[in-house]
Amino acid sequence: MKIEVRHSPIHELGVFATATIRKDERIGRYQSRKTNRDGRYVLWVESEKGTQGYNGYGRLRFLNHRSTPNSELDGLELYALRTIRPGEEITIDYGEEWADVA
């Protein structure tokens, strides 16, 4: 993976590119275990079968929110929405509840 975790100006820790990541490139998988309980690193994924929680333990658990993200999750797989340059923080949109947050 072309990423590392380090201090983030958005919130404590974040995920940053260590090399150029091209648009539509797969960045990685949200490593996790299924859960039914909410928590700090729980990602909720909607599917045809309903909503399932995934308690993250890998580096991608430190993804921060941005209303104009540079990546998005497809299930548990993370893809670049545009070219991401080395040193740039990788962000996702957390959803409607976070609409008022940068």
Check: CB of residue 27 under 8 Å from CB of residue 72: no
CATH label, 3-95, candidates 3.30.565.10, 3.30.499.10, 3.40.1280.10, 2.170.270.10: 2.170.270.10
Residue ranges per structural domain of the chain = 3-95
Residue from 55, 33, 57 nearest 43 by CA: 55
Query: pTM surpassing 0.85?
Result: yes
Buried b (16+ CB within 10 A) or exposed e, 46-77: eeeeeeebbbbeebbbbbbbbeebbbebeebe
Please state, rounded to an integer, the average pLDDT across all residues of the chain.
92
- Residue 97's pLDDT is what? 65
* pLDDT tens profile 46-94: 888 889 999 999 999 999 999 999 999 999 999 999 999 999 999 999 8
